[in-house]
Amino acid sequence: MVKFYVNKSTQPHEGLVVGIFVESGFHSSVEEIDKRMDLQLSTLKKSGKLSAKLGTQTAIYTLGTLDSDMLYVTGLGKKEDLTSERLRKAIAGVGKEMAKKKDQDIGILVDSFVTETLTAIDVATLIGESLALSLYQVLDYKEKTNEVDRQLESITLYSEEEEGPLTHAAKVGYTYGVGTNRARALVNTPGNLLTPTDLAEEAKELAEKHDFEFEVLERENMEKLGMGALLAVAAGSDQPPKMIVIKYQGNDHSDDLIGFVGKGLTFDSGGISIKPGENMHQMKMDMGGAAAVLGALDIIGTLKPKVNVLAVIPSSENMLNGSAMKPGDVIRSLSGKTIEVRNTDAEGRLILADGITYAKQLGATMLIDVATLTGAVLVALGDCTTGAVTNHEELMQEVLEASAKTDEWIWGLPNFQPYKDMLRTSDVADLNNAPGRLAGSITAGLFIGEFAEETPWVHLDIAGTAWQSKATHLGPLGGTGVMARTLALFAINRATK
């Protein structure tokens, strides 16, 4: 865990970080450093050897001119163009450089990153968040020595801002990054090491860490309650299903209860409607919705906003054996609605149907479900934007406000009646779980909405955003932890309403 400190005058560090813009002048704090280094920074910048291009990192040996051994100059581009997203990229570059040099103690001149639209508090928050995200590493299982690399341990922020607010902002940002990394770690865990039972154990450990209420429904409980949709999906696997329930009670004076429902498919073969073999190994990430919910709860548990949150995670595998559900089967969900299974690979919406219904039974007054639901959302929005469907525009607007702050982009999809009618094309059941390729992401989302009914509800399809196929400035190949920060911020924002 990185420790944050605030100071006004610089102290010795392994590395000192400053930001520079394309504009010719330096911030006054950087000008002072430039003077102590005999104007080397000005000379290098004029000659083009010191780049201010966004995201560039230039390491300069100070040779005793400063208390710190190294000066790291971070390019910020044009001041007028610097946004929170771009600043994350720049600071993530700092994190990568620190990891490469194995620095344990660094200082950052916060005020050299400030613009008219990004305050010192904003910068401190983004420093904490971006460094946590950029320093995340995927756990591997290769044979190796027990040697542990030196890791970043302390960060001192230098600013004219008051110490208390700045330290708090950095710690809050770091908390958001740590929660996201928890979600990433879950998504990246192989399916044989993260079964529904393992996922329930992870949730239990999180609940114990933050003193949350915790419960797990076993197969026999589900049978008594009538959770036919979750049980049908789980029938093809030897791993027992779990219905995981966590509750955070942060405001005893409020009747509002936010319901987060996360898809917890720990591996998805497609069932009888089996997926192609290519890239099927990535289907360990089909519990990305559950991971996002647990990551959000980690953030909420640390920051403790005055709001009430219920998390429901239906978890199973989707495998194929002699007991597996088949195309043409009719199942009865917890709500009583019957479903014809046209495609066994459209299983996420089935387990979420019972998850949504159970969250309502437990008192949720609003619902947000998160799921790696459809390949169709990748076709529609690519791998950088999450698709959304809702029955309540005001709730949707609150989710969009949170996502705009976290830069986890969301785009709303239509919910017109013809899409809803497509779900009622079964001759033998109330609903058809896979009415066809047309508008696949919309109909999948609206299928879940059938179980939300009149409860305000937003569906987030993260099939395109939960996994990245190549490393980026904020993280390595694999799980992104997307929506953990947005869900947490949504809940924290609700606490102020």
Q: Is the pLDDT of residue 42 over 80?
A: yes
State yes or no: is 349 an active-site residue. yes
200 vs 198: CA distance, rounded Å: 5
Among 116, 115, 130, smallest CA distance to 85 is for 130
Is residue 268 a known part of a binding site? yes
Question: Does residue 201 have a pLDDT over 70?
Answer: yes
Rounded to whole angstroms, how far apart are CA atoms 27 and 39?
A: 14
Check residue 1 and give its pLDDT: 75
Q: Residue 69 and residue 71: Cα distance in Å, rounded?
A: 7
Is the predicted pLDDT of residue 148 greater than 70, yes or no? no
The annotation status of 263 as a binding-site residue, yes or no, is: yes
Domains of the chain in sequence order: 3-158 (3.40.220.10), 180-494 (3.40.630.10)
CA distances to 76, 157, 466 from 122, rounded to whole Å, are 15, 13, 26
Closest listed residue to residue 465, CA positions, set 483, 451, 447: 483
pLDDT one-digit tens code per residue, 338-353 = 999 999 999 999 999 9
Model confidence over 280-302: pLDDT tens digits?
999 999 999 999 999 999 999 99
Is the pLDDT at 371 greater than 60? The verdict is: yes
Q: What per-residue confidence (pLDDT) applies to 402?
A: 98
- Give the whole-angstrom CA distance, residue 121 versus residue 127: 10
Known binding residue 347? Answer is yes
User: Has 184 been annotated as catalytic?
Assistant: no
- DSSP 3-state assignment of 13? coil
**pLDDT for position 150:** 66
Q: Is 420 strand, coil or helix?
A: helix
β-sheet bridge partners, residue 133: none
Q: What is the pLDDT of residue 142?
A: 84
pLDDT at 194 > cutoff 90 = yes
Give the residue among 387, 379, 407 at the shortest CA–CA distance from 458.
387
pLDDT mean across residues, the chain: 95
Examine the pLDDT at 173 and tell me if it is beyond 60.
yes
Question: Rounded mean pLDDT of 346-374?
Answer: 98
**Alpha helix (H) residue ranges in 37-158:** 40-46, 84-101, 120-134
Containing H/E element for 6? strand 3-7
* Residue 409: pLDDT band with limits 50, 70, 90: very high
Q: How confident is the model over 83-142, as pLDDT tens digits?
A: 999 999 999 999 988 888 888 999 999 999 999 999 999 999 999 999 999 999 998 888
Q: Which of 274, 352, 361 is nearest to 316 (CA)?
A: 352
Span of 354-358, 404-408, 471-475, 485-489 with lowest mean pLDDT: 471-475
pLDDT of amino acid 289: 98
pLDDT of 243-254, one tens digit each? 999 999 999 999
pLDDT value of residue 147: 56
Q: Is residue 441's pLDDT more than 90? A: yes
Q: Average pLDDT of 35-51?
A: 93
238 is in an annotated binding site: no
pLDDT digits (tens, 9 = 90+) for 204-244: 999 999 999 999 999 999 999 999 999 999 999 999 999 99
pLDDT category at 2 given cuts 50, 70, 90 is confident
Give the dihedral of Cα atoms 188, 190, 193, 194; nearest 10 deg: 60
CA distance to 127, 160, 176, 304, per residue, from 172 (Å): 10, 19, 6, 11
Confidence of residue 160 (pLDDT cuts 50, 70, 90): very high
Given a cut of 80, whether residue 497 has pLDDT beyond it is no
Which of 3, 36, 275, 405 is an active site residue?
275
| Residue 337 assigned as binding residue | no
pLDDT above 90 covers what percent of the chain?
90
Q: Would you give the DSSP letter of residue 331? A: E
Q: What is the pLDDT of residue 101?
A: 84
Condensed to tens digits (0 to 9), the pLDDT of residues 453-479 reads: 999 999 999 999 999 999 888 889 999
- DSSP letters spanning 18-40: EEE-SSSPPPHHHHHHHHHTTTH
Catalytic residue among 337, 349, 360, 485: 349
pLDDT in tens, 69-85: 999 999 999 999 999 99
Residue 152 has pLDDT above 90, yes or no: no
Token couple for 50:
């010191």
Specify the pLDDT at position 102.
87
The band of 149, judged by pLDDT with boundaries at 50, 70 and 90, is low
Sorting pLDDT into bands at 50, 70 and 90, what band is 24? Answer: confident
Q: Which long-range contacts (CB under 8 A, 24 or more apart) does 79-82 make?
A: 79/21, 79/22, 79/23, 79/115, 79/116, 80/115, 81/54, 82/21, 82/54, 82/115, 82/117, 82/118
Please report the pLDDT score of residue 10 as a whole number: 82
**d(C-alpha 497, C-alpha 258), whole Å:** 13
E strand segments, 218-374: 242-249, 258-262, 264-268, 308-318, 330-332, 338-340, 366-371
Chain position carrying tokens 């990245």: 468
pLDDT in tens, 415-427: 999 999 999 999 9
| Rounded-to-integer distance, Cα 337 and Cα 426, Å | 13
Looking at residue 475, what DSSP letter applies?
B
